[in-house]
Amino acid sequence: MTEFTLDGSKRTVPDGLSVLEAARTCGTEIPHFCYHPGLGPDGNCRLCLVEIEGARGLQTSCNTKLAPGMVVRAMGKDAVAARQAVLEFVLLNHPIDCPICDQAGECKLQDYYVALGAADSRMAFPKVRKRKREAIGAGVMLDKERCVLCARCTRFFSNVMKDEQLVIANRGNHAEIATFPGRKLDSPYAGNIVDICPVGALTSEAFRFRARVWLLQATPTICTGCATGCNIYADAKDGVVYRFRPRTNPDVNGWWICDEGRYSYPAVNENRLVAARIGRGPGAREASVEEAVAAAAAELAAVRDTGGTIAVVASPDASCEEVFLARRIAEDALRTPHRTGRSVKPPGVGDALLRHRVKHPNTPGVALVGLAPGAGGRDLPGLLSPPRPDAWLLLGGDLAAEGGAPAAEALSAARSVVAIVPHAGATAASATVALPGATWIEKDGTFVSAKGRLQRARAAFPPRGDARADLEILAALGAALGVRLPGPRAEETFRAMRAGIPALAGIEWDAIGEGGVALPGGVGPP
- Minimum CB–partner distance for residue 431 and ligand SF4 (Å): 28
CA-to-CA distance for 232 and 226, rounded, in angstroms?
13
Q: Does 194 bind ligand SF4 (CB under 6 A)?
A: no
**Distance separating alpha carbons of residues 146 and 94, to the nearest angstrom:** 6
Q: Which is nearer to ligand SF4, 167 or 503 (CB)?
A: 167
Residue 354 binding result from ligand SF4, ligand FES, none, given CB thresholds of 5 to 8 Å by partner type: ligand SF4
Point out which span in 94-102, 348-356, 372-380, 480-488 binds ligand SF4 (CB under 6 A): 348-356
Q: Distance of alpha carbon 384 from its chain centroid, rounded?
A: 33
Would you count residue 199 as binding ligand SF4 (CB under 6 A)? Answer: yes
Residue least distant from ligand SF4 (Cβ): 261
Residues 287/276, Cβ–Cβ less than 8 Å: yes
Given the complex with ligand SF4, which of 488 and 526 has the nearer CB atom?
526
Find the DSSP H helices in 125-264: 152-155, 192-196, 259-262
- Give the binding-site size for ligand FES (rule: CB under 6 A): 13
Of residues 47 through 86, those in contact with ligand SF4 by CB under 6 A are none
Q: Is 317 in the site for ligand SF4 (CB under 6 A)?
A: no
Query: CA–CA separation, 351 vs 130, rounded Å?
Result: 36
Question: Residue 113 CB, nearest distance to ligand FES (Å)?
Answer: 16
Strands 285-287 and 445-448: unpaired
Candidate residues 6, 49, 177, 523; the one interacting with ligand SF4 per rule CB under 6 A: 177
For ligand FES, give the closer residue by CB, 62 or 303.
62
- The reply to whether 79 sits near ligand FES by the rule CB under 6 A is no
Q: What DSSP string runs through 421-455?
A: ESB-SHHHHH-SEEEEBPPGGGS-EEEE-TTSEEE
**Sheet order of strands, 445-448 included:** 445-448, 453-457, 517-518
Residue 255 or 392 with smaller CB distance to ligand SF4: 255
Alpha carbon distance 476, 473 (integer Å): 5
Does residue number 160 form part of the binding site for ligand SF4 (CB under 6 A)?
no
Shortest distance, CB of residue 360 to ligand SF4, whole angstroms? 10
d(CA 366, CA 371): 6
Q: What is the largest CA-CA distance in the chain?
A: 89
* CA distances in angstroms from 283 to 230, 280, 431, listed in the order given: 43, 6, 12
Q: Which amino acid is at 162?
A: K
Query: For residue 231, what are the β-bridge partners?
Result: 222
What is the three-class DSSP state of 363? helix
Residues 41-70 binding ligand FES (CB under 6 A) are 41, 43-48, 60, 62
Which residues are registered as beta bridge partners of 466? none
Rounded to a whole number of angstroms, the minimum distance from the CB of residue 444 to ligand SF4 is 18
Contact letters for ligand SF4, residues 243-272 (x by CB under 6 A): ----------x---xx-xx-----------
Using the minimum distance from each CB to ligand FES, give the nearer residue, 35 or 494.
Answer: 35
Give me the sheet containing 202-204, strands edge to edge. Answer: 134-137, 140-142, 202-204
Helix (H) or strand (E) holding 112: helix 108-115
- Rule CB under 6 A: is residue 35 a binding residue for ligand FES? yes
Query: Contact between 460 and ligand FES (CB under 6 A)?
Result: no
Pick from 150, 293, 295, 330: which binds ligand SF4 (CB under 6 A)?
150
In this structure, are residues 515 and 444 in contact, taking their beta carbons and an 8 Å threshold?
Answer: no
Q: Which is nearer to ligand FES, 33 or 189 (CB)?
A: 33
Closest approach of ligand FES to the CB of residue 340, in Å: 53
Q: How far apart are CA 317 and CA 232, in angstroms?
A: 17
Verify binding: residue 236, ligand FES, rule CB under 6 A.
no
35 binds, among ligand SF4, ligand FES, none (CB under 5 to 8 A by kind): ligand FES
What is the contact surface with ligand SF4 in residues (CB under 6 A)?
A: 147-153, 177, 197-199, 201-202, 223, 225-226, 228-230, 253, 257-258, 260-261, 354-356
What is the contact surface with ligand FES in residues (CB under 6 A)?
A: 32-35, 41, 43-48, 60, 62
